[in-house]
Amino acid sequence: MMKFKSPPVNSLSLDFLTEFCISLEKLENDRACRGVIFTSAVPKIFSSGLDITEMCGKSMEHYAEFWRAVQEMWLRLYGSNMVTVAAVNGSSPAGGCLVALSCDYRIMVENPKFSIGLNEAQLGIVAPFWFKDTFVNVVGHRIAERSLQLGSLYPAPEALKFGLVDELVPEEKLQEKAMAVMAQWLALPDHARQLTKSMMRKVVLDRLLAHREEDIQNFISFISKESIQKSLRMYMEMLKKRKS
Amino acid sequence: MMKFKSPPVNSLSLDFLTEFCISLEKLENDRACRGVIFTSAVPKIFSSGLDITEMCGKSMEHYAEFWRAVQEMWLRLYGSNMVTVAAVNGSSPAGGCLVALSCDYRIMVENPKFSIGLNEAQLGIVAPFWFKDTFVNVVGHRIAERSLQLGSLYPAPEALKFGLVDELVPEEKLQEKAMAVMAQWLALPDHARQLTKSMMRKVVLDRLLAHREEDIQNFISFISKESIQKSLRMYMEMLKKRKS
Amino acid sequence: MMKFKSPPVNSLSLDFLTEFCISLEKLENDRACRGVIFTSAVPKIFSSGLDITEMCGKSMEHYAEFWRAVQEMWLRLYGSNMVTVAAVNGSSPAGGCLVALSCDYRIMVENPKFSIGLNEAQLGIVAPFWFKDTFVNVVGHRIAERSLQLGSLYPAPEALKFGLVDELVPEEKLQEKAMAVMAQWLALPDHARQLTKSMMRKVVLDRLLAHREEDIQNFISFISKESIQKSLRMYMEMLKKRKS
């Protein structure tokens, strides 16, 4: 079990992503480890997604390094040979939702105050094509199209209805349930399961691998636009005010 | 709000399509216009689809011109940068259904007498691949496969169940609801929403653009077959008799 | 109506597949035959899927011949011009499920003891990509991904929920219902229905046609691995013990 613990909101900073990838690689290479459960050690939030401070007022080099780390995280997680279960014990917008979507199975606490979704559009940002591909593979084209355009965040019960999460449980049952699901998946022979997973996800993984540098350039040129920088600064101001 | 008013059944004639495309282009270029609601000024019918008289007993040149206009309508509507909402206040078979499917959101009057679907197969006609692609993007492969083969028309409540429309409302609430939905979509920043929409629809739009002339030739050679002409004539006779 | 009668469990042996393909070809070429209903003459089982004895302890040549026959069956069935209805009157795992998935419509007896699914992973085997493509076309990507990894078998009521079958009926109504469905599909003009079906399935059929020899080589090298042979032998032992 891997517990995200980067208060206040488990945002995916460059440091967080780097550490996450290293941990994942270690586990991947550890033959004794056949599966991982991801959950949060921070109350009420699973992960708030990409760290906006990494995308605001930094150098081109920094943007490139950051985006490569985001790609790396997804490539490792979505392509993992291990069984991956997201035990979503709090809200999970944007990049946090991507982490959950990239797992094999998603269990969420049945608290309607916790919401999940790819809400990038609300910030004036476009979710990259591989966020979209991952999303479409889980909820289908129609729900993805509408949700991405509206930047929808779904309360847990609605997320279940759309198949964005697989199951809801009371908070106190989350860990137990995640262990039970993991046991069910680990009952299958690894080799066949891994080949099957790879068969299902390869097309989408290969698409990013084929366009990785292009995707980084896209990100840099988009994020460094003055209009985008301005709207990110406004969003950060709003977050600061809300806190105080 | 654009109201279709081409009695008796808002069929998509060459004139209708030409005017529709010109209006759409004007709105697209008008920076003050960020969204359009499509509805019908004709009672009980949204649009009856492609005008059969344009496909029956005409010259090859006419068929080509007509089909290019149908393509043009779809390319503009499915690829529109504006928010497009279909307020479906009547039946909407075949091409009428395509118009609705090409919008961002579909609201239908909750009258089970109003039906919607791609029923081309019932007339012995094959829906072209881009009708099919648009349909699959909304309802998924399975429902599309079955519905296209059977030429199914779904009463409003069933259409909702399959996700063919997003919402049902009483007739007197339709306009109000359409305005509310439009306001919700317009609350998002245009640029991110447009890029997201384009990302979702580009593959399918590009497929027609890459095969446009071929698709026209296909249509001409199919529609000018004596067997097809005969079945269209029979269908028109039936419609005339039903009217009188 | 074609009744599978190869006791004890209608397993898809080389002989069964060969005879099946010949019968299918005859019907396909018989202009008087526009549709086929597939059902089982063996109680409680529709088809148990690929015959494991054909995959265990045989020569490379035998594996190649067997796999080519499995491919041939699917190519003919999934690509059939006829209306194909599966009247699933018993359990239908693995290859048996593929037969049902390849039809135009699936009716299953509403007995929760009868189950259906692509459970290859449970045997340590990987369903080939065209099994997967057929499955995704019916239930969508998410359900397919999870079900294939877990090798899930679904009792009839659950299979209906996921759209893996289209309809459940009491056993005594199965034949009558299948005939009614067939009549509904045959009411459509053949030509348009066939072109529509081909448009929906061509991409997936072409993928196997383009990689057929490669797929045979993959199968041979996978199935002849000692670890796979061992797990198949163990599975056969278990089946024998269960019987006695």
pTM (two decimals): 0.96
pLDDT (0 to 100) of residue C231: 85
Tens digit of each residue's pLDDT (9 = 90 or more) over B188-211: 999 999 999 999 999 999 999 999
| Residue that the structure tokens 């759409």 belong to | B24
Mean pLDDT of the region B15-37: 96
| Residue that the structure tokens 């009428």 belong to | B96
C188 with B145: Cβ contact below 8 A: no
The neighbouring-strand residues paired with B84 are B36
Mean pLDDT of the region C77-102: 98
pLDDT (0 to 100) of residue A48: 95
Mean pLDDT of the region C204-231: 95
Best of C102, C162, C200, C204 to substitute, by most chain B Cβ atoms within 10 angstroms, is: C200
Residue C58 pLDDT > 90: yes
pLDDT (0 to 100) of residue A241: 86
Tell me what ipTM this predicted complex has. Answer: 0.94
Tens digit of each residue's pLDDT (9 = 90 or more) over C20-49: 999 999 999 999 999 999 999 999 999 999
C149 with A195: Cβ contact below 8 A: no
pLDDT (0 to 100) of residue A239: 81
Mean pLDDT of the region C124-148: 97
For B27-31, C177-181, C227-231, which range has the lowest pLDDT when averaged over its residues?
C227-231
Percent of chain B predicted with pLDDT > 70: 100
In angstroms, what is the C-alpha Rg of chain B? 17
pLDDT (0 to 100) of residue C241: 86
For residue C90, what is the enclosing H or E element?
Answer: strand C90-93
Which of C14, C50, C123, C174 is the catalytic position? C50
pLDDT (0 to 100) of residue A123: 87
pLDDT tier, B175 (very low <50, low <70, confident <90, very high otherwise): very high
Residue B238 pLDDT > 90: no
Is A43 in CB contact (< 8 Å) with chain C? Answer: no
pLDDT (0 to 100) of residue B51: 95
For residue B18, what is the enclosing H or E element?
Answer: helix B14-29
Residue B170 pLDDT > 90: yes
pLDDT (0 to 100) of residue B150: 97
Mean pLDDT of the region C110-130: 95
In the predicted model, residues of chain A with pLDDT beneath 50 are: none
Q: Decide: A69 and A17 in contact? Cβ < 8 Å.
A: yes
More confident: A173 or C6:
A173
Is A153 in CB contact (< 8 Å) with chain B? Answer: no
Grouping H, G, I as helix, E, B as strand and the rest as coil, residue C124 is coil
pLDDT (0 to 100) of residue C13: 97
pLDDT tier, C3 (very low <50, low <70, confident <90, very high otherwise): very high
B vs C, Cβ pairs < 8 A, gives 57
pLDDT (0 to 100) of residue A155: 98
Which residues of chain A from 175 to 234 reach within 8 Å of chain C, CB to CB? 184-185, 188-189, 191-193, 195-197, 199-201
C119 among known catalytic residues: yes
pLDDT (0 to 100) of residue B107: 98
Q: What is the distance in angstroms between the Cα of C171 and the nearest Cα belonging to chain B? A: 24
Mean pLDDT of the region C102-109: 98
Residue C244 pLDDT > 80: no
pLDDT (0 to 100) of residue A240: 83
Residue B243 pLDDT > 80: no
Q: What is the distance in angstroms between the Cα of C31 and the nearest Cα belonging to chain A? A: 39
d(CA A231, CA A217) in angstroms, rounded, equals: 20
Tens digit of each residue's pLDDT (9 = 90 or more) over A39-98: 999 999 999 999 999 999 999 999 999 999 999 999 999 999 999 999 999 999 999 999
Q: Decide: C174 and C109 in contact? Cβ < 8 Å.
A: yes
pLDDT (0 to 100) of residue A236: 86
pLDDT (0 to 100) of residue C10: 94
Grouping H, G, I as helix, E, B as strand and the rest as coil, residue C107 is strand
Q: Where are the alpha helices (DSSP H) in chain A?
A: 14-29, 60-78, 94-101, 129-139, 141-150, 156-161, 174-186, 190-210, 212-223, 226-243
pLDDT tier, B241 (very low <50, low <70, confident <90, very high otherwise): confident
In angstroms, what is the C-alpha Rg of chain C? 17
Tens digit of each residue's pLDDT (9 = 90 or more) over B95-130: 999 999 999 999 999 999 999 999 999 988 999 999
Q: Average per-residue pLDDT in chain B?
A: 96
d(CA C111, CA A217) in angstroms, rounded, equals: 56
Closest CA to A117 of A141, A100, A103: A100
Q: Which residues of C touch B125 (CB under 8 A)?
A: 192
pLDDT (0 to 100) of residue C99: 98
